[in-house]
């Protein structure tokens, strides 16, 4: 809520007329003359909350959406009346003059009262002390200034608060697609079987790494690891003799250990070549190479002596 006045100043209002507006007992008061306190800005949709005190001869009110701020009236504004002793009981306190009548009339004399006014589009609501006194729809005034009126008696205003309202716009309903005929039938249209906006195209399926994929986008250009040639001494670790001696002896090259990025590159390469990523097995652990002095010589089996032709071999 925006405080227009807390009863200590009138800086947000312009005075129109000769009413004796002044600050008294932490409220804006008037008891002589006639006139208005008009806001400096115009408003459309809003909610006002104010506290007022009136005596038996008070004729006052709150004017909203005033088209002519120099001469507010019931013709150029919406007038919410504060006038308990009004001879026209339909336009007494809580009524919107020339729009809607009030019945029953709330009793507001000699006490502080709370009035709430809500203007949202054509809808106008007035509540006094928590009781709804007027509710109507009218389109004569869409936007304008707010004015506090004094005509007779004694009137006090304090804690005049204001809150702008945003008018909600209902979203547009989507167009309904009505097929003229089944696609493929003799009566179907050769251009489009739909009336109105054509249906949206389905998004392409995303590639999956679990199956065989031939899409070029699945291939990731990651360089493969360079091989390491083992032409020197053979390793002596017992767990490595199964893999490395034959390669080192024949002068072949063994693949180097690969990192996680290398494995990603190999997996992507296999997918692009229409293979499954799960077909790869991790390479053997890189063995430790012992020094030449501690190298063991391979065992050779001693051939059996040939038998003489005179005797049979036992």
- Count CB atoms within 10 A of the CB of residue 280: 14
Nearest to 255 by CA among 218, 273, 280, 275: 280
Predicted pLDDT of residue 124? 96
| CA distance from start to end of the chain | 118
Considering only the top CATH level, what class is 2-164?
mainly beta
Predicted pLDDT of residue 1? 84
Predicted pLDDT of residue 104? 85
Does residue 112 contact residue 7 with C-beta atoms inside 8 Å?
no
Predicted pLDDT of residue 8? 92
**Would you kindly state where each structural domain of the chain is located, as residue ranges?**
2-164, 230-278
> Which residues, at least 6 apart from 234, have a Cβ–Cβ distance to it below 8 Å?
241, 244, 245, 248, 249, 289, 295
| pTM score of the predicted model | 0.54
User: What are the mean pLDDT values of the chain's consecutive 10-residue runs (314 residues total)?
Assistant: 91 94 95 95 94 94 94 94 93 94 91 96 95 94 95 96 74 50 49 50 55 46 48 50 49 52 54 49 55 57 54 51
> Which residues, at least 6 apart from 41, have a Cβ–Cβ distance to it below 8 Å?
145
Buried (b) or exposed (e) across 167-182, using 16+ Cβ within 10 A? eeeeeeeeeeeeeeee
Reported as type and span, the H/E element at residue 263 is helix 260-272
Phi, then psi, of 25 in degrees rounded to 5: 55, 45
Phi, then psi, of 284 in degrees rounded to 5: -65, 155
Joined together, the tokens standing for residue 58 give: 């008070």
Predicted pLDDT of residue 306? 53
């Amino acid at each position: 809520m925006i405080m227009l006045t807390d009863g200590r100043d009138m800086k947000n209002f312009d005075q129109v007329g000769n009413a004796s507006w002044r600050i008294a007992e932490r409220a804006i008061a008037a008891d002589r003359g006639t006139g208005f306190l008009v806001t400096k800005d115009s408003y459309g949709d809003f909610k006002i909350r104010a506290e007022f005190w009136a005596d038996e001869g008070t004729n006052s009110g709150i004017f909203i959406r005033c088209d002519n701020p120099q001469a507010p009236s019931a013709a150029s504004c919406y007038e919410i009346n504060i006038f308990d002793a009004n001879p026209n009981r339909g336009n007494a306190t809580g009524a919107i003059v020339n729009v809607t009548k009030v019945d029953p009339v709330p009793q507001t004399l000699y006490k502080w009262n709370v009035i709430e006014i809500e203007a949202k589009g054509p809808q106008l609501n007035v509540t006094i002390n928590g009781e709804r006194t007027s509710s109507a729809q009218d389109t004569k005034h869409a936007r304008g200034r707010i004015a506090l009126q004094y005509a007779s008696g004694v009137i006090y205003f304090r804690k005049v608060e204001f809150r702008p309202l945003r008018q909600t716009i209902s979203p547009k309903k989507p167009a309904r697609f009505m097929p003229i005929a089944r696609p493929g039938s003799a009566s179907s249209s050769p251009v489009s079987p739909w009336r109105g906006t054509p249906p949206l195209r389905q998004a392409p399926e995303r590639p999956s790494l679990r199956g065989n994929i031939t899409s070029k986008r699945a291939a990731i250009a990651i360089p493969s690891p360079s091989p390491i040639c083992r032409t020197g001494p053979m390793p002596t670790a017992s767990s490595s003799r199964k893999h490395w001696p034959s390669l080192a002896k024949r002068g072949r090259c063994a693949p180097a250990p690969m990192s996680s990025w290398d494995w990603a590159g190999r997996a992507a390469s296999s997918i692009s070549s229409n293979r499954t990523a799960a077909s790869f097995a991790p390479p053997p652990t890189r063995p430790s190479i012992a020094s030449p002095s501690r190298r063991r010589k391979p065992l050779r089996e001693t051939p059996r002596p040939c038998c003489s032709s005179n005797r049979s071999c036992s």
